[in-house]
Structure 1
Amino acid sequence: MMLLLSHEAPSQTPVILSITGGFMKATKVHIRNFRLLEDTEIALDDATTMIVGRNNSGKTSVVEIFRKLTRADRTPFGFDDLSLSAHDRFDAALAAYDEMVAAQATGDSDAVEEARDRVQDLPTIELTLTVEYAADDVISALAPFIMDLDPDRSDATFVFQLRVRDPEATFKEYREQDARKPMDLHRFLRKRFSSLTTTSIEAIDAQDPSNRRVVSDVELSRLISVRFIYAQNQIDDLSSDATRNLSKGFESFFRSNQTDNSVAEAIDDLLESAGADLDKQYQELFKAIYVDLQLFGVGSMPGLPVLSVVSQLESVRVLTDNARLYYSDAGQTKQLPEAHNGLGYSKLIFTILQFISFYEELKRSTPEPSIQLIFVEEPEAHLHPQMQNVFVRSIGGFIGSKADWNVQVVITTHSSHVVAESGFECIRYFDNSEKPMQVRDLSTFQLREQKKDGGPETLRFLRQHMVLNRCDMFFADQLVLIEGAVERLLLPTMIQNVAPDLAHKYLSVIEVGGAYAHLFRSIIEFLNVQTLIITDIDSVDPADKRKAAPVASGTVTSNPTLKAWLPAKDSIDELLVVDAAGKTSNRVRVAYQVPDDPQAGAGRSFEEAFILANPELLAGARLAGTERAFQNPDGTRKSTSELVADSWTVATNIGKKTDFAFDIALLQGWNTPLYIKEGLEWLSQKP
């Protein structure tokens, strides 16, 4: 059986990722003591929640705890699933158990009870889900979870919990084991954790946590459905076509849509008719075998059955291992097998097929779960940047077309392109620069900025930057904001020369220009990411219509970053004497021109600062693109002293700054200007 699929050009109309449907929503997830998620609260968007952050910040752990608690992952919880900070509590509880045993031996009942309380104080892995609903929602499925009678409340909370079943028995067993053969407590717990623990689901009153009741898996399944779409790294394009993941995806879709599907029923009718014909052919084909069996007494001896071969043409069996997905390019008649198609198309089709299957399956559920969550893990795998944008639009368009689908999507991603397509309000940034890890909700950031003077304009600028540039700030270890192309071209070499450790970190270099760096202040401070701002001192003369002037004669700066952010000064004299602490605020530092040689003064721009840091080298060099700027009017080459004295004029005459950058790149042994050197050294230090 062949399934034919043509490549059609994607629609160019942008689709907003949004949903419609009932009001009942999961609004908040609170995870405790699971891996990096020691005490993590995540607000869920009504439509799509985008979880982003640096590597090893806990993004995948959100998916993993849902997988384990919903038994999509049948691997039991292990001791190492507990956050590291929770491990010491087992040691403390063991010490309390030993005290309890000693107190029992002496008959001190008060000491026994006090120690017993501490023995019971063991960490639990918890996932708490908060649900909100409207008064006119159908809440029959939610009824077991509503623990209050307040008509003004419209929330319900339930908690999944994994805990040690019997702490006293656990430590008693450990001490017996340790007496027979010495063993570390944590090693014992690693070996026995699954048998020592138990899980439960309870509905609780958020305003009175003592008011709670146990709910069953059946009650939970009527309320909530959780599905997962994984990174799908097993999709490949090997010529053997052994995995056939797309074909299997279509098989799975057919299997889940057999019931109440007229097309599936028609296929079954056709197969039933074909089966009757096959039965007749089988009788003829195997007639000789039947005769031989009769000679051995089959059919005449008591208890020996008469055999016959009957066709079993069930649609699912026919489809399984017989469906082959073929591709044809638009306008072409020839088809190629699944494995000949690129990974990007295969991944995109497979993911969309999963969404379609989930929708069809849920529509047949009785009753249909009121809350539906779909976790999509790293959808960017195998997708090039444009295809990543197509993915977000395609999923948004499909969900938006289903007015009766009340689904919420949670996406974990490392892709700046996926983020750029989503906007601020749905982003949850996982910041692992602090312990415990913090979740920074950009919907909160957006609301806060909208209330500020100039905030809406800042948001528009940042959104535009997200669309036009890569949003690597959400994934980088550190940020570097620079003035322009020259710094961007030369920064790798400067890092190699003065701070080689930075080469092993994920730096996001953002070219913002001196006039716009300050617009990033709010989001950088909100994200709490370590940031170096490399900018120009931009000296001007207010007495001469604020025209650009050498640092020695300019009295103020025109740079809004230096005036409004760091170091919040506009006097050139004050800027030149600010110390390192004055240039730093929390995890942000600014770097602007300072004298490399106190006798020579400071440059106004990077070009002038570079000349003052390398006068001897430039005096003896021959430059391809900017040679004329380094010559005297008579055509002779400027000397070292002349370059220092005329640095302002030389820098002004350079012309194309990128030509100067390429000239520098061809030189050997040049010095990094002091202000950039100090900034990079600060960035390379442990934050």
Structure 2
Amino acid sequence: MRIEAVEIRNFRKLASVRLDFSKQTTLLVGANNSGKTSALIALRSFLKQGISAFSKNDLTLSRWQEVNDIGAGWAVDPSVTLPGTWAGLLPSLDVWLHVEDDEVHRVSPLIPTLDWTGGRVGVRFALEPKDEENLARTFHDAWTATQALKAAWRLPAETAPVILSSASTNHNVGHEAVDYGADHVSAVQTDQPLLSAPEPRDLSLWPDDLIDFLSKYFQTHLVLRHYVLDPEKFQPPMKDCACVQDLPRDSEPLASNPLADIVLIDEINAQRGLGDAGEHAADASTGRISDTARLSRQLSDYYTKHLDPAENPGPEDLHALQTIAVAQEDFDARLKQAFKVAFDEMAGLSYPGVTDPRIRVASKLSAAESLRHESAVSFELKGTGGLATSEMYLPEGQNGLGYQNLISMVFRLMSFRDRWLHVGKAAKPMSDASIQPIHLVLVEEPEAHLHVQVQQVFAKKAFDVLRNHIDLLDKSELTTQLVISTHSSHIAHELPYESLRYFRRLEAGANGVNVPTSNVINVDLAYGTTQDTQRFVQRYLRVQHADIFFADALILVEGSAEKMLVPLFIKHRHPALYQAYVTMLEIGGSHAHRLQPLIDALKIPTLVVTDLDPKFESGPNAPTQRGVKQISGNPTLKNWSDLDSDVDSLLEAHTEAKIKKGDDQYAVRFAYQTAVTVSLDTTTEEALPSTFEDALAFENVSFFRTLAGTGLTRKFRDILTTETDVKSAAAKLHAALTSGSKAEFALDIMMSVDFEKMTPPRYIDEGLTWLEERMQKQELTVNGDTDAE
């Protein structure tokens, strides 16, 4: 049995997403603020914590108005409560399980019909009003009282015989008495207005609307219920959005959580609080200060749960208990001897008297407590010459924070595993408790404080640690599923790409939702259809460390010179783009188009900087010329863009023709060499560059005439210094580029003190400007400013 998928609806930024689970490790990737943490919180809240974990802020903002519309109706008439009004408004989580034939008895409450033949079952965790009529009535009373108070405040004293006081009033809510406190008001007689103001104006009093009312009584009036889902209605996502099924109107909730005995959830959050052993760490979920994050405390807790001989002792523990008892007896005798003088002195003060109780000092030796001190965990140092300095140790707080985090996380994974399997002492008090068949472990951003190599070790070994037990290694009766959220390309690099789930940020208005949301894309479905393309993309991304999955935008460049120099152009000339997370990939014009299926699936705004590569129909590459029927030999322009391959058409193409549009947030812009006007001493003519290097030279003739360097740099300097004819210079530059190192050429440029004065090639600068404008628009729209142009 395993979790096949979950569908999250109306929870924070996740308006409607489907998250497919891998059989072992599922990795959540995506740019910052894309919803990865929200997905983990949703799993924890629905499956582990229950209604106490929720508040009105967990409701997707786009649903607030619909909830307030219900409240507006109740403000007029609280008796109007129509069945189905709340369907699809509040947060819900659908969990889909794959069940083997011999496990059917475990999911009997979830079998939808007698015709069910096995395979998939589903259950919905849904927030709903506990008692809709009671909610309507109590909201109506609170809202009506508030409106009366506002009306009284606006009236002059002589015309306001009745106002409202802020006295606390108790209202019966079901079987619970709820005190609305100073915010709830009731009518009282008075001769004076409560407030006066120079001008009548609106007051901000609770509750303004139903959402405001629920901000205080969310958990009082809402409840988490569970419903059986129909596997026949399990549908694949549409436009990357989950197709969440509607429940029949007559659906009855289950009596209790059907997954309580099926799924055990453990989690490691990002705020692990390790550091100086003398510091106390704050619990991320409660905000309380605790030292439970220290390694010594974790070791002690593990010992208490699984190893302590004093807990449910067996024959193997008797020797250890005897040793502790002898040590305690000897220590007590020493204590009695040590305190005798002090107690005798106290007796001289007539205390204790004849009838007073006598003082006794006794010890209590505990192995678990002995592990809680600062030096319980330390790290041995090694000396030089092969000699171990066995008496020299560093306390845990003085070891590297990265290693502390790695040790802590691995140890917690071991503790999770052993608690799940009731290992050691934990087995005896739980001997009658069954083991849940699914162990779901959630890890948030394990890369925090870990350097690259340690991140990779954790990614490769975490699942193995969770399965390293004789009852798990080669057996399938018990399932472990690990879900990791990360911003680390190194962790993504180490795991199979079929395990990656990409969270994409959506701007307000996408998919008909008027606030920013996110959706989820299975990366393994985004590589394209041909085997060659899939193989190339996977191997290429492994070389590039998968930065693509965390980027705000992509720039694909032709060669090493562009890879080195374009980032500097961005820094000095495009500040808004410089502040964004832009990933640059050097891939070349002959292979860039192979990334198209992946980029189209992830829908990341992309600038493709490539070369024109002019050639004749049946000849080699040649300098760019007009009117001679040249075509582009660049596979990226031919196979990815919608442009004609004819060079004359490419040179005249307007900006819009170079953009391949996706949706409102996604497009690909192609940038290649275009005509520039160049002055060489006395002549000014049109130049037609065909590579990045000659385009850069024609834009910066004076710079290259004085640029120091050898090889290709010297050839360019000599050509631009001696030539006075633009066409002749273009031909010679093209010929020079057939030999020489372009990387050395770029390094010579970077070393120049005048680099910041350079003008980027026009075609690149135009492309960067386009990408910068898209980033600025995306920043506004993803933050909810739908009026952004």
Bin for the TM-score computed over the shorter chain: 0.7 to 0.9
Looking at structure 1, the residues matched to 252 and 625 of structure 2 have their Cα atoms a distance apart, in angstroms, of 70
2:484 maps to a residue whose letter is I
TM-aligned CA deviation for residue 616 of structure 1: 4.7
SS in 2 for 1:132: strand
TM-aligned CA deviation for residue 257 of structure 1: 0.6
Deviations 1:64-112 (A, max 9, x none): 22333355599742221211111111221122223435xxxxxxxxxx6
Match of 1:608 among 685, 691, 694: 694
1:6 maps to what in 2?
none
- 5 Å-filtered alignment, 1:164-243, equals 164-165=129-130, 166=132, 167-179=135-147, 180=149, 182-183=205-206, 184-185=208-209, 186-207=211-232, 209-210=247-248, 211-216=251-256, 220-237=259-276
- 5 Å-filtered alignment, 1:400-439, equals 400-402=467-469, 403=473, 404=475, 406-434=479-507, 435=510, 436-439=517-520
Looking at structure 2, the residues matched to 573 and 414 of structure 1 have their Cα atoms a distance apart, in angstroms, of 44
Counterpart contact for 2:381–2:394, Cα < 8 Å:
no
- 5 Å-filtered alignment, 1:269-668, equals 269-287=322-340, 301=355, 308-321=360-373, 324-328=376-380, 332=388, 333=390, 334-364=392-422, 366-402=433-469, 403=473, 404=475, 406-434=479-507, 435=510, 436-445=517-526, 449=528, 452=529, 455-496=530-571, 498-544=573-619, 546-552=620-626, 555-567=630-642, 569-585=644-660, 586=662, 587-597=667-677, 599-619=685-705, 621-625=706-710, 626-630=712-716, 637-638=721-722, 641-643=724-726, 645-653=728-736, 655-665=740-750, 666=752, 667=754, 668=756
Deviations 1:260-311 (A, max 9, x none): 787777544432332233344444445567776799686964xx76654443
Between 347-356 and 164-173, the greater mean CA deviation after superposition: 164-173
TM-aligned CA deviation for residue 679 of structure 1: 1.0
Percent of paired sites with the same residue: 27
Counterpart contact for 1:344–1:384, Cα < 8 Å:
yes
SS in 1 for 2:590: coil
Q: TM-score, normalised by structure 1?
A: 0.85
Counterpart contact for 1:205–1:212, Cα < 8 Å:
no
Looking at structure 1, the residues matched to 639 and 571 of structure 2 have their Cα atoms a distance apart, in angstroms, of 32
1:158 maps to a residue whose letter is V
Counterpart contact for 1:170–1:196, Cα < 8 Å:
no
Is residue 51 of structure 2 the alignment partner of residue 51 of structure 1?
no
User: Which runs of 5 or more structure 2 residues have no equivalent in the other structure?
Assistant: 151-204, 234-246, 282-290, 423-429, 511-516, 679-684, 779-789
Looking at structure 1, the residues matched to 535 and 336 of structure 2 have their Cα atoms a distance apart, in angstroms, of 77
Looking at structure 2, the residues matched to 129 and 429 of structure 1 have their Cα atoms a distance apart, in angstroms, of 19
Match of 1:156 among 113, 121, 136: 121
Deviations 1:616-672 (A, max 9, x none): 5444x3433455314558xx9225x43554123124325222333234342353322
Looking at structure 1, the residues matched to 298 and 318 of structure 2 have their Cα atoms a distance apart, in angstroms, of 20
TM-aligned CA deviation for residue 43 of structure 1: 0.6
SS in 2 for 1:312: coil
TM-aligned CA deviation for residue 386 of structure 1: 1.3
Is residue 61 of structure 2 the alignment partner of residue 84 of structure 1?
yes
Looking at structure 2, the residues matched to 369 and 124 of structure 1 have their Cα atoms a distance apart, in angstroms, of 29
Larger relative contact order (C-alpha < 8 A, sep ≥ 6)?
1
- The verdict on how the C-alpha distance between 1:118 and 1:97 changes in structure 2, with shifts beyond 3 A counting, is farther
- The verdict on how the C-alpha distance between 1:286 and 1:580 changes in structure 2, with shifts beyond 3 A counting, is same
1:327 maps to a residue whose letter is F
SS in 2 for 1:67: helix
Looking at structure 2, the residues matched to 429 and 177 of structure 1 have their Cα atoms a distance apart, in angstroms, of 48
SS in 2 for 1:142: helix
Looking at structure 1, the residues matched to 707 and 264 of structure 2 have their Cα atoms a distance apart, in angstroms, of 70
1:55 maps to a residue whose letter is N
Between 30-39 and 291-300, the greater mean CA deviation after superposition: 291-300
Counterpart contact for 1:27–1:131, Cα < 8 Å:
yes
Between 393-402 and 117-126, the greater mean CA deviation after superposition: 117-126
Deviations 1:386-421 (A, max 9, x none): 111111122143245442552100000000000011
Corresponding residue pairs, total: 638
2:288 maps to what in 1?
none
Looking at structure 2, the residues matched to 369 and 383 of structure 1 have their Cα atoms a distance apart, in angstroms, of 32
Counterpart contact for 2:25–2:463, Cα < 8 Å:
no
- The verdict on how the C-alpha distance between 1:604 and 1:261 changes in structure 2, with shifts beyond 3 A counting, is farther
TM-aligned CA deviation for residue 57 of structure 1: 0.6
- 5 Å-filtered alignment, 1:106-185, equals 113=80, 116=82, 120=86, 123-137=89-103, 139-165=104-130, 166=132, 167-179=135-147, 180=149, 182-183=205-206, 184-185=208-209
- The verdict on how the C-alpha distance between 1:245 and 1:74 changes in structure 2, with shifts beyond 3 A counting, is farther
Counterpart contact for 2:24–2:463, Cα < 8 Å:
no
- The verdict on how the C-alpha distance between 1:644 and 1:260 changes in structure 2, with shifts beyond 3 A counting, is farther
Looking at structure 2, the residues matched to 141 and 237 of structure 1 have their Cα atoms a distance apart, in angstroms, of 46
Counterpart contact for 1:239–1:340, Cα < 8 Å:
no
Looking at structure 1, the residues matched to 305 and 639 of structure 2 have their Cα atoms a distance apart, in angstroms, of 60
Looking at structure 1, the residues matched to 323 and 643 of structure 2 have their Cα atoms a distance apart, in angstroms, of 80
Is residue 682 of structure 2 the alignment partner of residue 682 of structure 1?
no
- The verdict on how the C-alpha distance between 1:420 and 1:632 changes in structure 2, with shifts beyond 3 A counting, is closer
Looking at structure 2, the residues matched to 391 and 144 of structure 1 have their Cα atoms a distance apart, in angstroms, of 38
Deviations 1:532-563 (A, max 9, x none): 1000011123433x344434467122211011
- The verdict on how the C-alpha distance between 1:433 and 1:69 changes in structure 2, with shifts beyond 3 A counting, is closer
RMSD: 3.1
Counterpart contact for 2:139–2:213, Cα < 8 Å:
no
2:242 maps to what in 1?
none
Counterpart contact for 1:130–1:155, Cα < 8 Å:
yes
- The verdict on how the C-alpha distance between 1:266 and 1:540 changes in structure 2, with shifts beyond 3 A counting, is farther
SS in 1 for 2:4: strand
Counterpart contact for 1:30–1:129, Cα < 8 Å:
yes
TM-aligned CA deviation for residue 236 of structure 1: 1.5
Counterpart contact for 1:498–1:680, Cα < 8 Å:
no
